[in-house]
């Protein structure tokens, strides 16, 4: 098990350490747990976990499974693929009252992840609008 997640400025321990403690209390042997506690976001979770897995396994011939929130699964899978992980994801249940915020956050994350593509499309739409407006003013149509 690779527990992945760094320590925020107002947190006493890293996310990785907290998950390891949780797993150990529920019967996972300590010697089966590896920590990746330097990451600050999902992209780094996958990149740094790939390095930990490679170092532990000895080469890149391993398969992995990652666990995250169900709303975060798609973007996490993209980051796993970009990090070179041969991994499948499993999403956990999210309470319905949290879903609007979570989905909006994931939308923003996907937008930022592909910002060049999105800004290019938006620029083309705006340019097309202005081109049509100018053509209408000049009675081209």
Q: What is the pLDDT of residues 50-104, one digit of tens each?
A: 999 999 998 888 889 999 999 999 999 999 999 999 999 999 999 999 999 999 9
Q: Considering the chain, tell me which residue range(s) the CATH 3.40.50.620 domain(s) occupy.
A: 1-94
Question: CA torsion angle for 109, 110, 113, 119 (degrees, to 10)?
Answer: -110
Is domain 1-94 classified as CATH 2.40.160.20? no
Instruction: Give CA angle at 32 (29, 35), nearest 5°.
Output: 115
* Residue 53, CA atoms < 13 Å, CB-side half-sphere: 23
Claim: this prediction has a pTM higher than 0.85: no
Mean pLDDT computed over 31-45? 95
């Amino acid at each position: 098990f690779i527990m992945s997640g760094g320590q925020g400025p107002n947190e006493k321990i890293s996310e990785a350490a907290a998950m390891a403690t949780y797993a150990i209390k529920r019967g996972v042997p300590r010697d089966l747990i590896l920590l990746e506690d330097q990451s600050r976001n999902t992209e780094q979770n996958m990149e740094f976990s790939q390095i930990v897995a490679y170092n532990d396994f000895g080469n890149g011939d391993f398969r992995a499974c990652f666990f995250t929130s169900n709303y975060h699964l798609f973007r996490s899978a993209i980051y796993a693929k970009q990090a070179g992980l041969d991994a499948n994801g499993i999403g956990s249940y999210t309470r319905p009252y949290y879903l609007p915020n979570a989905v909006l956050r994931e939308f923003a994350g996907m937008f930022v992840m592909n910002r060049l593509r999105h800004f290019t499309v938006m620029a083309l739409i705006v340019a097309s609008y202005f081109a049509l407006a100018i053509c209408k003013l000049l009675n081209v149509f």
